[in-house]
Amino acid sequence: MPLPPLPEEAITIGADARTWREAVRLAGAGLEASGAARSGYSEEMIRMIEEHGPYVVIAPGLALAHARPGPEVIKDGLAVVTLSTPVAFGHPHNDPVSVVLGLAILSIEGHLASVAELANVFNDPSAIPAIAAAKDAATVIAIMKREQ
């Protein structure tokens, strides 16, 4: 099962974000640029973190920002943001974050297989540092597709 679509326009390399909110907005901008989500999706992802805390930081250095399926989602999609300077989300173990993934899912049914592929990518502990160090979008796509 393939990952949710990750086109180059959904990838931002070496971004400057001063806060976790700015970092999540960059991931939302990537989803908007690739046509996966509308502009309001960023604030929905931020609201999830405000409501539930920094649980989206699911591994050291990695945040998986997402909200629920809804009118702000156009189609399934992924975005990747790498940060020039890591930012803190307030997570007790996994801060600071250098890679932010944005995930948009159109419907709960059937999303599991594509999200499972994320586990295949990141169960390899070298994936997060390799993405954080990537110099271009093509390298990030190759790592996410497990081509290198």
Partner 1 sequence: MKIVAICGAGIGSSSILKVNAERVLANLGLEADVTAADVSSVRTAAADAQVILTSAEFVEAIGKTFADVIVIENYFDLQELTDKLEKSLG
Interface contacts to partner 1, rule CB under 8 A = 48, 51-56, 58-60, 64, 66-69, 92-94, 103, 105, 108, 111-112, 115-116, 118-119, 122-123, 125
The least distance separating partner 1 from the CB of residue 10, rounded to whole angstroms, comes to: 16
C-beta of 68 vs 146, nearer to partner 1: 68
C-beta of 31 vs 103, nearer to partner 1: 103
C-beta of 31 vs 118, nearer to partner 1: 118
C-alpha distance from residue 8 to each of 30, 49, 80, 128 (Å): 9, 26, 9, 18
The least distance separating partner 1 from the CB of residue 93, rounded to whole angstroms, comes to: 4
The least distance separating partner 1 from the CB of residue 146, rounded to whole angstroms, comes to: 14
C-beta of 4 vs 140, nearer to partner 1: 4
The least distance separating partner 1 from the CB of residue 94, rounded to whole angstroms, comes to: 7
C-alpha distance from residue 34 to each of 12, 55, 78, 82 (Å): 12, 26, 9, 17
Read off the amino acid at residue 6.
Answer: L
- What angle is formed at CA 34 by the lines to CA 29 and CA 91, rounded to 5 degrees? 45
C-beta of 68 vs 135, nearer to partner 1: 68
Would you give the DSSP letter of residue 131? H
Q: What is the β-pairing status of strands 97-104 and 62-66?
A: parallel
Of all helices (H) and strands (E), which one includes residue 102? strand 97-104
The least distance separating partner 1 from the CB of residue 1, rounded to whole angstroms, comes to: 11
